[in-house]
Structure 1
Amino acid sequence: MSNPPPKTILNKNKLSAKKTDREQMILAERIHIIFHQPLLKILLLGQGITVGITVIFLWGTVAPELLLVWLAWMVVMTIFWGGITLYYRHTLPPPQKAKRWAYIYLCSGLLLGATWGVTAFWPRVLADPSATVFLAIVVFGITTAGLAVFAPLLPAFYAFTMLSLVPYAIHFFIEGGKLYVTLGVMFLLYLLIILIIGDNMRRTLLESVLLRFENMELVNDLIKKNTLAEKAREQAVQAGMEKSKFIAAASHDLRQPLHALGLFVDALESRIRFPEVRKIVDNVRLATATLSDLMNGMLDISKLDAGVLQPVVSEFSIQPLLDRIAIEAEQNASEKGLRFRLRHCRAVVRSDSNMLDRILRNLVANAIHYTEQGSILVACRYRKKNLCIEVRDSGIGIDKNKLEKIFKDFYQVDNPERDRAKGHGLGLAIVERLAKLLGHTLTVNSKPGQGSTFCLCLPRVTNLSPTLEMPPSPPVYLDDVAGATVLVIDDEIMVCEGMADILTRWGCKALLADSAETAWEQLKANGLQVDVIISDYRLRENKTGVEAIECLQKKTRQVFPVIIVTGDTAADRLREANASGYHLLHKPVSPGKLRSLLSYLLNDSRTEFSDKKSNRPLA
């Protein structure tokens, strides 16, 4: 099994590479490669064995004391080389010390080369042809092996190779004779060849190191860019969160007075005596309704983003739903001089009927809004197991580069001046979110001046059942709220006053409180009798209406019908309020909707909510 490649010094010091000279880093990397090459141990062991064999072979030819001194020096050199190798691998010196290690390495090459070169001048060696040939082979082998060790650092390689081979060539030429001159020439040729090979190895290694540096720089640049991108993303997320918090806070603060304003307008309308006052009140009501529409659109977006709305999927015939949409659409289209057409469809689909109704109503209303002449067509097409409902218009159309933008919040195709009469730009944003929530595919094709086609594809049921109809409408309850005692908990004085006025006009008895404590006092003063509790969700001191109601029910050991009214649009607040299990209304609440829900709770004490709460034991 082969040894894994050594870790490069670039990995450990990549951060300091910015502060260190590039050439110094390259030198440090080359030295690092030398001391971490897997063959180094084998070469040191091979040199030790070669030295031993040389001493044995030349014993008797060379003076023993000379051989023993040479052997001792070689042992010292081998131990020294092995020691500095272990030290380097253990400490992994920083690039700043690369030159010092290069000098150590150069000196090692000089000493080792000279130690082998001195054998050329041993007495009586050249007199013995076998000893001469043996040493020539040994020196050739040692210098060849030195390629792997010294080639990464060219000065050390030159020193080792030349000090090993040149002494033999000089000695051969001095000795003279055909044999020794030939050997001298061979040594010089071999020296030239091995120097060329060593230089090529050095260049290859240097190119590899440079390429590694370039890759590392690219990686560092990529890391830097990714870091900047991540920071930018985090800043964008943070900005988005801050924006959401701001919008949620602003929405809550706006909904409070808007809710009270709606109550006061309703109260004022019943007291109008002069026609000119009615006109003013009607304008105020219209302005309030416009602002309420905007707030409700933002609330729908927040609900969808928070995951509060969950589809209730069922199988139903699509035609009754389309017929109901057509009744309203035909009237709106005729007011603009447009023709509305609906093609009959017998398909049965699988979806949430309320959400699907909302999607199609928005698409049809959008088509009528942006069409000045011509017609609007709603038609269905079968595509395999799906039903595709198309809403076509002959309106202004949309540029190709704007098609993706039309589903963004507050974006409007032809309203740069932000004319409120042209809507708020939330309809298609809600449509897209609802389609994604239902898992339906929504596409749009359009050309400027040629109209647009919105296509919604949803699953259809192939095994048709003739009895399938739209879900039944909820039962209508009698409007008998008069005589009811209603506890209102809200820390806004003007909301309490508005609620008190409207409840009094409905014939109800209103108990007003701004906290759980004052609500308890009101309950005790009224003999613990109350028919319905209407509470704001967010109260003072970080308390919630749910907590206040739980406290009251625990103290009275009673379960009351509850309506939670909230002006929050923050995702977490919506989830908390929705999880309470109580009936939830969002500010601004129209008096009609409030009275309808109040009547529902008073007429039917066996609602699902009441059953759930009454089965829960109280402490």
Structure 2
Amino acid sequence: MPPQAGDRSGGKAGEGPGVNLEGLRAIGRAEKWQLDYLFDLGFQAWLVHIGVVAATAGVLVSAHPEDRWPLLWCVAMILLSLSLSLLARFYLRSPPADEPSAQRYGAAHTGLTALVGITWGLGGFGAATGDFQTLLVYSLALGGTALGAVSSQHVLPRSCFVSLWTSVPLLGLAHLFHDPAFLGAVIMGMVLLYAAILSILAIRMLRFMQANLRLTRSLDARLAELTQMAAELEGARAEAVEANLSKSRFLAHASHDLRQPIHAIGLFAACLRDIDLGAEAAQLVGSVDNAARSVSRLLGSLLDISRLDVGGVVPQPEPVALGEMLQGIARQNADIAAANSCTLRIVPTALWVEADPALLSAMVQNLLSNALKYAPGARILVGARRAGGSIAIEVVDTGPGIAEKDFRRIFDEFYRADRPAVRATEGLGLGLAIVRRLAELMALDVSAASAPGRGTRLRISGLRPVAPVTAPVSRARRQHPLTGLRVCLIDDDADVLAASAMLLRRWGCEVTPFRALPGGPLGCDAIVSDFDLGGETDGLDAIAAVRAFEGWDVPAAIVSGRTEPETLARLARAGIPFLRKPVHPAELRALLTGFALDAALDISGEAVRG
């Protein structure tokens, strides 16, 4: 146990060596840590003591060649020293398991050191029978061993004091015996003063040891507390991370069910827009469609950040024509720019880069959406430029800019500036956070510069330039009538199936809807299937079955809200176009138009060859 407040070896620090009752108790007391320290030093110390005894015995034998007592003294001292050395060795090899056992070792040590002290003191009387030089050498040897006893035994005060006060006072008496005159008395007084000084030194060294022990134990206790706190914090952090990942995994896996009703609303609204409605009804349909798109955008942001959290996004780099991509993004945002009174201009460019086209397009779209929302009425410029050995895409607006207090946090998740204009704007504060995450995923840099009242510049840099690639015109940009295109439509959700069938029929398609796998050939020109069909069979299986019935690779597309990496990998390996719910009707129409154009080209080619 740590020493208590009252466990002192003498007076308070800074006071003289006054001895009180508590001090006497401290001198007589021996805790196990004191004995551990004592015996750890004792083995080597007593071996050194044997060397000192042997050298001193040599001097005594040469000074008293006729006497036997020097040899007897030497043998007694060596036996006592060996006993103490072996006592320390036994203690260290088999440490006592409990306090009483350790105390018996301490009592044995004190008893043996008392005998050593007495033997040293009696030897002084033998040396005093010779000349003063012999007594002087003996005094030096005893004084050195007394100092050594303080350095090695101060941790056990009773052994230290017994060793000092059984040997040094007898040495003083030996000097008085050698010279009973004034000089002998002075030397005796000096020897006793030496013993007192060594005693004070021993007490101060013990106090230092006790203070060091208290400090060590306090630090150990504090370290244990900090270690426990660190473990608790790590546990809490791990729980928080796991909870966040569980949330993200839930959103990623639930994305299909979350997107399904929004997808159906968008399809029904598209069908209603094609009907000749009154002005008020058309306005209501437009409001419903805008609300569905708004919910779709918010949900898309949440699902995108969740997919990034769980590692559900894997870049698939390929050559990308920046000019074509930026023009496509501008066309998609033309209506929003007009609604916000913004002037949107794309700087023409012939640059190509190697990047994932979908992820890069999403980054630019988020930057542009940010400018359109927060800089109404501004001029917005989007372009690409060379920056050293790489290429950068910039979105620059002449809007109100970003306040300094908000600028440091614009890439933080869910952060929105506390301004009326921002609060009145739809959003979750995830757009720029998604851009930053995607930039890290594709080893790109994203940065911003802004000045209040002078606009904002957002930049994606680090894109690797590549040579242009000759590629066929994207299907999504071809235009061809869909009248008469026979479509096999598969979806297990009745509302989505009905809405999709109604929309395709209004485009002129001949639709055969199914909520499960068809049972035979249909004579279809295209297949549109949901991925999840409510059983063990999925959309890829359904497409494979229809193609087997038809006897040829019917053009097909998968529509789904699933975002798991394994599902996306399966779709990529199958080479089947994938539209993510909620699908904008224009995307679906463009894809089916591409199928119809391909079919027309195939028929034309066969006619020419015939």
TM-score (norm 2): 0.73
1:402-461 CA-to-partner distances (Å, cap 9, x unmatched) read: 224323344443677987864454432333334334433322222434432323334576
Corresponding residue of 1:509: 512
Deviations 1:585-609 (A, max 9, x none): 222223443354355457659xxxx
Equivalent-residue separation in structure 2 for 1:390 and 1:269 (angstroms) = 36
Aligned with residue 579 of structure 2, among 569, 575, 585: 585
Q: What is the rounded CA distance, in whole Å, between the counterparts of 1:73 and 1:238 in structure 2?
A: 67
Structure 1 Cα separation of the partners of residues 557 and 350 of structure 2:
40
- The residue that corresponds to 2:239 in the other structure is 235
8 Å CA contact retained: 1:355, 1:434: yes
- CA shift digits 1:495-548 (9 cap, x unpaired): 4444555566621323331xxxxx3xx43xx2598776655444557x472685
Identity within the alignment, %: 24
Aligned positions, number: 562
What amino acid sits opposite 1:400 in the alignment? E
SS at match of 1:407: coil
What CA deviation, in whole Å up to 9, does each residue of 1:182-226 have, x standing for no partner?
Answer: 653453243244335444544554555455445434533442342
What is the rounded CA distance, in whole Å, between the counterparts of 2:537 and 2:281 in structure 1?
A: 39
> Which residue is equivalent to 1:486?
488
What does residue 474 of structure 1 align with?
474
The corresponding residue for 2:443 is 439
Tell me the equivalent position of 1:597.
Answer: 591
Structure 1 match to 2:398: 394
1:529-544 maps to which residues of 2 (within 5 A)? 534-538=528-532, 540=534, 543=536
Counterparts of 1:317-336 in structure 2, within 5 Å, are none
Secondary structure, in 3 states, of the residue corresponding to 1:486? strand
SS in 2 for 1:408: coil
Q: Corresponding residue for 1:287?
A: 291
Which residue does 1:111 correspond to in 2? 112
Residue type of the alignment partner of 1:136: S
Question: For the structure 1 residues 309 and 474, does the alpha-carbon distance in structure 2 shift closer, same or farther, using more than 3 Å as the test?
Answer: farther
**Aligned-partner residue type, residue 286 of structure 1:** N
Distance 2:376 2:494 in 1: 47
**Cα distance in 1, alignment partners of residues 170 and 419 from structure 2:** 94
Q: Return the alpha-carbon distance in structure 2 between the equivalents of residues 392 and 498 of structure 1.
A: 40
Judge conservation of contact 1:106–1:155 (CA < 8 Å) in 2.
no
Corresponding residue number in structure 1 for 2:24 = none
Query: Amino acid of the residue matched to residue 69 of structure 2?
Result: V
What displacement does 1:383 show?
Answer: 4.9
Partner of 2:26: none
The letter for the 2-side match of 1:488 is: I
Q: Is the 8 A contact 1:488 1:535 kept in 2?
A: yes
1:163-562 equivalent positions in 2, closer than 5 A? 163-173=166-176, 176-178=179-181, 180-181=184-185, 183-199=187-203, 201-202=205-206, 205-206=209-210, 208-213=212-217, 215-248=219-252, 251-267=255-271, 277-305=281-309, 306-314=311-319, 355-372=359-376, 375-377=379-381, 383-387=387-391, 389-413=393-417, 422-459=426-463, 468=468, 473-475=473-475, 476=478, 478=480, 482=484, 484=486, 486=488, 488=490, 490=492, 492-499=493-500, 501=502, 506-513=509-516, 519=517, 522-523=518-519, 526=520, 534-538=528-532, 540=534, 543=536, 545=538, 548=541
For the 8 Å contact 1:412–1:425, the answer to whether it is kept is: yes
TM value normalised by structure 1: 0.72
> Cα distance 1:423–1:115, how it changes in 2: closer, same or farther (>3 A)?
closer
Structure 2 CA distance for partners of 1:149 and 1:85, relative to 1, 3 Å: farther
Shift of 1:147: 3.2
* 1:82 aligned onto 2:75: no
1:148 aligned to which of 147, 151, 154: 151
Aligned counterpart in structure 1 of residue 39 of structure 2, from 23, 35, 40: 35
**Deviations for 1:26-52, whole angstroms, at most 9, x for unmatched residues?**
965554433334xx4332323345556
Matches within 5 A, 1:562-573: 563-569=557-563
8 Å contact from structure 1 (residues 107, 156) kept in 2: no
How far is the alpha carbon of 1:237 from its aligned partner? 0.6
- Asked whether the 8 Å contact 1:312–1:351 carries over to 2, the reply is yes
Amino acid at match of 1:288: A
Query: Structure 2 counterpart of 1:87, which letter?
Result: S
Q: Which residue of 2 aligns with 1:617?
A: none
Q: CA deviation at 1:112?
A: 0.8
In the alignment, which residue of structure 2 is the partner of 1:158?
Answer: 161
Give 2:18's aligned residue. none
Q: Is residue 349–residue 458 contact of structure 1 (8 Å, CA) maintained in 2?
A: no
Task: Kindly indicate whether the alpha-carbon contact (under 8 Å) linking 1:481 and 1:599 is maintained by their aligned counterparts in 2.
Answer: no
Residues 244 and 570 in structure 1, CA contact (< 8 A), matched pair in contact too = no
CA contact (8 A) 2:264 2:499 kept: yes
Structure 2 runs not aligned, ≥5 long: 8-29, 600-610
Partner Cα distance (2:332, 2:289) in 1: 22
SS of corresponding position for 2:458 = strand
**Alpha carbons of 1:479 and 1:150: their partners in 2 closer, same or farther (altered >3 Å)?**
farther
**Counterpart residue type for residue 433 of structure 2:** A
Secondary structure class of the residue paired with 1:188: helix
| Aligned counterpart, 1:17 | none
Distance 1:295 1:576, change over 3 A: farther
How big is each residue's C-alpha offset from its partner over 1:332-384, in whole Å with a ceiling of 9 and x where there is no partner?
65665555566677877665566555444543443343234564455777654
Shift of 1:117: 1.9
